Amino acid sequence: MAGHQRYLRYIIFALICLILLFFISSSSSVPSAQWPSYKPDGANEAETSPQSPKEGQEQPKPTTTPSDNKKLPPATAPGDRMNATFVTLARNSDIWEIAKSIRHVEDRFNRKFNYDWVFLNDDDFDDEFKKVTSALVSGKTKYGKIPKEHWSFPDFIDQDRAAKVREEMKEKKIIYGDSISYRHMCRYESGFFFRHPLMLDYEWYWRVEPSIELYCDIGYDTFKFMSENNKKYSFVLSLYEYVETIPTLWDAVKNFTATYPQHVAEGNSMKFLSDDDGKTYNHCHFWSNFEIGNLNWLRSEAYIDYFNSLDKAGGFFYERWGDAPVHSIAAALMLKKEELHFFNDIAYYHVPFTHCPTGEQYRLEHKCHCNPKDNFDWNGYSCTSRFFETNGMTKPEGYEQEQ
């Protein structure tokens, strides 16, 4: 009997061993797919080789997880491209904030179109800025330095008077009121960016600032839309300007229109700017941190005469004129009202305002991730309602719920 039991024990032991072996081998055979091993071009050595590098030889570059995204199939839209570029004015210190903006623009639009991107700076861009931004942009990137004469006080400006204004504005706590560089920036965006040598290669621009966000997919070529529909200037957000920064801007505009009546378009959008047929300015303007527009219009004699006329009045330095009202007034007076466009479908954020498209169906179809409650369009401080009314446009369905 004892011998019998011993046999039985052997058999059970052997069976358990077999079952265990089976499980071990089968479980290890299922996820046997290996992580692709990353080898930089032309390198044969194992990356993790603990051997010390040989004398006089370059050390193999350390690698992290494999990144093979260059091998993904192209997801670009078919068809030809417009003569267009993105443009950003930035400092080297804006690098991570502009990186965020680029990521949004690429994900929602430009990965399908691969438009170029021009970066402008009053200083030299450093290598890190160029490296990071050129890696993010799917089109060509170009880096330009602003000539000194486009970023300095014109000789007709009285320095003492300008300095006194900055002091006063600082005391009144007007945002950027004591900043010299902010004034150069506003003047540059008003009168010079479109004349930079790098911008002369293009007809259309889309301005992008640091820290902006895009909330919906844009599935069509917005530049082509502008061109095919005879648009010259566009916006997503509009609002009332801070009066203290532009007390005499409208006087300068009236002086311009009196001197150059030929530059004022028939069928313009004066009603958007003024409630008394041009006597006074209601401070409505398009927010210029987003713009898609036509560079040849900005380079036209009409616009240049306008800019020079305002510049001579000195308000960029004796007040704190922003490029937003300067562009907006030009677009509203020197273009026909049909040449302006409101991009309801470009969902956008620049601190502190959001444009989230009105209409749930649209938002769902375009994978929008903005909260419709944040939409500024129908708020009392927005001028977008006025834009709709002066153009006889019907407001999108559902706007009453967002007021």
Name which of residues 176 to 195 contact ligand GTP (CB under 6 A).
181, 185
Q: What is the largest CA-CA distance in the chain?
A: 124
Name the minimum Å distance from CB 392 to ligand GTP.
32
The reply to whether 309 sits near ligand NAG by the rule CB under 6 A is yes
Render 141-175 in DSSP notation, one character per residue.
Answer: EEEEEPPGGGSS--TTS-HHHHHHHHHHHHHTT-T
Q: Which residues have a catalytic role annotated?
A: 291
Give CA–CA dist 184/120, Å, rounded: 13
Give CA–CA dist 385/374, Å, rounded: 16
Six-digit token string for 82: 């417009």
- Residue 113, C-beta contacts closer than 8 angstroms, at least 6 positions apart: 76, 77, 81, 139, 221
Number of H-type helices and E-type strands within the chain: 15, 12
User: Which of 97, 203, 209, 305 contacts Mg ion by CB under 5 A?
Assistant: 209
Name which of residues 178 to 207 contact ligand NAG (CB under 6 A).
201-203
Residue among 2 and 258 whose Cβ is closer to ligand NAG: 258
Residue 296 interacts with, from ligand NAG, ligand GTP, Mg ion, none (CB under 5-8 Å by kind): ligand NAG
Site string for ligand GTP, 69-98 (x = CB under 6 A): -------------------xxxx--x----
Site string for ligand GTP, 23-62 (x = CB under 6 A): ----------------------------------------
**φ and ψ at residue 255, rounded to 5 degrees:** -65, -40
- Residue 62, C-beta contacts closer than 8 angstroms, at least 6 positions apart: 47
Render 41-98 in DSSP notation, one character per residue.
Answer: TT--S-TT--SPPPTTSPPPPP--S---GGGSPP-PPPS---SEEEEEE--GGGHHHH
Instruction: Tell me which stretch binds Mg ion (CB under 5 A): 189-197, 288-296, 318-326, 332-340.
Output: 288-296
With beta carbons less than 8 A apart as the criterion, state whether 318 and 165 touch.
Answer: yes
Residue among 309 and 344 whose Cβ is closer to ligand NAG: 309
The reply to whether 325 sits near ligand GTP by the rule CB under 6 A is no
Handedness of CA 304, 307, 309, 312 (dihedral sign): negative
With beta carbons less than 8 A apart as the criterion, state whether 88 and 206 touch.
Answer: no
* Residue, CB closest to ligand GTP: 181
The reply to whether 114 sits near ligand NAG by the rule CB under 6 A is no
Residue among 296 and 391 whose Cβ is closer to ligand NAG: 296
Residue among 263 and 327 whose Cβ is closer to Mg ion: 327
Residue among 256 and 349 whose Cβ is closer to ligand NAG: 256
| Contacting positions for ligand GTP (CB under 6 A) | 88-91, 94, 121-122, 181, 185, 209-210, 289, 351
| Contacting positions for ligand NAG (CB under 6 A) | 83, 201-203, 251-252, 255, 259, 296, 309, 312-313
